[in-house]
Amino acid sequence: MDFLNAIVALANYVLIPGIAYGSQLAIGALGVTLVYGILRFSNFAHGDTMAFGTMIVILMTWWLQSAGVSLGPLPTALVALPVGILGCIGLVLLTDRLVYRFYREQKAKPVILVIVSMGVMFIMNGIVRFIIGPDDQSFADGERFIISARDFKNMTGLEEGLGIRTTQLITVITAIIVVALLFWFLNKTRAGKSMRAYSDNEDLALLSGINPERVVMLTWIIVATLATIAGVLYGLDKSFKPFTYFQLLLPIFASAVVGGIGSPIGAIAGGFVIAFSEVTITYAWKKVLGYLMPESLEPSGLVQLMSTDYKFAVSFVILLIVLLFKPTGLFRGQAT
């Protein structure tokens, strides 16, 4: 019984939140990694691109809610998602036309593009705050729980409860679908292959007749889609606030770099590595160990490696370690 309790407590506080958070990071990191692999710069505006897409979804959701549209147990935001994706695609294509294309034609160095993307970040940040404001916005509706901790306790008679939120399940399912689609696209379709070719060797790709502007446009469309999906999933599961989306940039970059920047598989692996490191290092293990160990050995302290205040520091440290010892990341991406 104690063993079961320990597993349930672990699942409730570590596994389930970690998996959901990891999926959100993975989708975010995929966007960063695609920009890096194909357009060859680190896109600092990614967090705010997510915020912009999410903002459109939120506005759309509110409108749908006021019109009485509902998906029953599922959040209405899923209906609004395509609109958000379209809006976000529009914004990034416009940015590309107005800003990035100019530097591409100049053959600007990646470091210049990085700085340019920071400028774009500030502008997007401003647009989002201007339209929806800097405050917390809640837009999740429908059934909140698949199973709530209280019901779980009553059902199983265990001391520990296990809560699974609808948004957590949606996050995982969407992540699987999105990743499967993306890999199918990159590996099987002509357009996907041309993107990979362009990423591997730009000159060779140009010689073989691949239209670079088309590849760039495709990349931005995919990146905007991924960014909006990641942003909406994060916002549904947690909450939407422009500033937290800006802060998400750090774990997302850490995920992309840990996995090997430029490598899609690496982005996914990196997302989970970062998510689980953040959660497990800041988790207080007292409860789980208390169930597992004999009474005499029960820990009196919290058995917490680091206070939760240092959550972001964890991704920083991992980022540094990877850059120092294995700059190509776990899955051999391009060296940063």
Chosen residue from 65, 70, 156, 282 binding other proteins by CB under 8 A: 282
Name the minimum Å distance from CB 79 to other proteins: 23
**What are the backbone angles phi and psi of residue 331, rounded to the nearest 5°?**
-110, 50
Is residue 136 left, alpha or beta, with left meaning phi > 0 and alpha meaning psi from -120 to 50?
A: beta
Between 121 and 275, name the residue whose CB sits nearer to other proteins: 275
* Residue of the chain from 5, 6, 17, 54 that contacts other proteins (CB under 8 A): 17
Give the closest residue to 93 by CA, choosing from 274, 186, 247, 218. Answer: 218
- Quick one: 285 or 331, whose CB is closer to other proteins? 285
Q: Which is nearer to other proteins, 62 or 185 (CB)?
A: 62
Nearest distance in Å: CB 240, other proteins? 8
CB of 50 to other proteins, least distance (A): 12
Q: Which is nearer to other proteins, 153 or 332 (CB)?
A: 153
Which H or E element spans position 222?
Answer: helix 212-237
Q: How far is the CB of 139 from other proteins (least distance, A)?
A: 13
Sole window of 162-170, 206-214, 264-272, 327-335 interacting with other proteins (rule: CB under 8 A): 162-170
Six token digits for residue 223: 């990146």
Determine if 253 is a binding residue for other proteins (CB under 8 A): no
Touching other proteins, residues 260-279 (CB under 8 A): 278-279
Query: For residue 256, which of 236, 213, 227, 217 has the smallest C-alpha distance?
Result: 227
Alpha carbon separation from 187 to 147, 192, 196, 248, 332 (Å, rounded): 38, 6, 8, 29, 18
Please choose, out of 39-47, 182-190, 237-245, 325-333, the segment that lies near other proteins by the rule CB under 8 A. Answer: 237-245
Q: Which of 65, 70, 156, 244 binds other proteins (CB under 8 A)?
A: 244
b/e sequence 91-105, b meaning 16+ C-beta within 10 Å? bbeebbeebbeebbe
**Which C-beta is closer to other proteins: that of 48 or that of 278?**
278
Cα(275)–Cα(197) distance, integer angstroms:
31
End-to-end CA distance of the chain: 49
Q: Does 307 bind other proteins (CB under 8 A)?
A: yes
Binding test (CB under 8 A) with other proteins, winner from 104, 129, 193, 286: 286
Residue 300 CA neighbour count, 13 Å, CB half: 1
Three-state SS for 274? helix
Helix or strand or coil: residue 75? coil
CB of 286 to other proteins, least distance (A): 4
Residue 321 CB-density burial (10 A; 0-12 exposed, 13-18 middle, 19+ buried) = exposed
| Nearest to other proteins of 296, 300 (CB atom) | 300
Reduced to 3 DSSP states, what percent helix, strand and coil does the chain have, rounded to the nearest 5?
75, 5, 25
Counting residues that bind other proteins (by CB under 8 A) gives: 41
For residues 96 and 278, which CB has a smaller minimum distance to other proteins in the complex? Answer: 278
Residue 4 binding other proteins, by CB under 8 A:
no
CB proximity list for 177: less than 8 A, separation 6 or greater: none
Q: Does 215 bind other proteins (CB under 8 A)?
A: no
Residues at the contact surface with other proteins, assessed by CB under 8 A: 12-14, 17, 21, 138, 144-145, 148-150, 152-153, 161-163, 165, 234, 237-241, 243-244, 278-279, 282-288, 302-304, 307-309, 311
